Amino acid sequence: MSAAPPLAGRHALVTGAGSGIGAAIAARLAADGAAVTLAGRRLDRLDATRRTLANAELHGAVTMDVTDQDSVAAGVRAAEAARGPLAILVCNAGAAPSAPFARVSLADWNATLAVNLTGAFLCAQAALPGMAARRDGRVVMLASTAGLTGYPYVAAYVAAKHGVVGLTRALATEFAKTGVTVNAVCPGYTDTPLLEGAVDAIVAKTSRSPDEARAALARANPQGRLVTPEEVADAVAWLCSPGAASINGQAIAVAGGEVMTG
């Protein structure tokens, strides 16, 4: 008899799950046996992604604006009513607008922190009390190498992702004795729709073509390539696995060696 999948019987909620890294994470967790709730703002996109997952009938989708506390609370309630208590939360929703610092408006600053940092806070606050009461759970925050170092023209994003890493470490310490772990995954430049914003910024500021801009971003990785969404999903899945029970409070770079932490 073959062994059960490592996440069989586990309910995972993934925000920003309609495309890119979020969709790859949802696919990997589903392949590992989890029942997945895909969360985001566009139900049609979420449901289209859900239909591509292994055992699609086991999974579901909820609309959720991670910047709105009531929306997050309602989404978590709906997910748990449909598929049981959350065992895994992946805070993936994010945005990375680009502009010279002098042109960053207060509204842009607040919006970037809201989706990247406040969104992670609200989702964690909705899910963690139940996990702690059950003495079981995994929370994975999608930060970025921008949470470990600095990049020009994305000051608000860098600040927000540094905040996500700090939030991860604070929660990991606070909940360490409850059986819940909290970790961050920090991708480098990854081949997703979000990358196109960085490509557009390079094209707008230089005479490079889009292909040349993508090549320049790939060169930031010592391996000379863009990270794939599936590689990020692999790291998330490992942190959610039984074998990662002692991994807590870590910010793991998936970037080919672009950022070294110790």
What is each CA distance from 17 to 22, 35, 36, 104, 159, in whole angstroms?
4, 14, 10, 28, 23
What is each CA distance from 166 to 13, 148, 192, in whole angstroms?
22, 10, 25
Catalytic annotation, residues: 157
Read off the tokens for 107: 């509204």
Evaluate whether 130 touches 85 at the Cβ level (below 8 Å).
yes
Read off the tokens for 160: 């927000």
User: Greatest CA separation found in the chain?
Assistant: 63
Q: Please state at what angle helix 195-205 crosses helix 210-219, rounded to 10 degrees.
A: 110
Question: Distance from CA of residue 160 to its chain's centroid?
Answer: 13
Which amino acid is residue 190, in one-letter code?
T
Read off the tokens for 130: 């139940």
Read off the tokens for 13: 């909620």
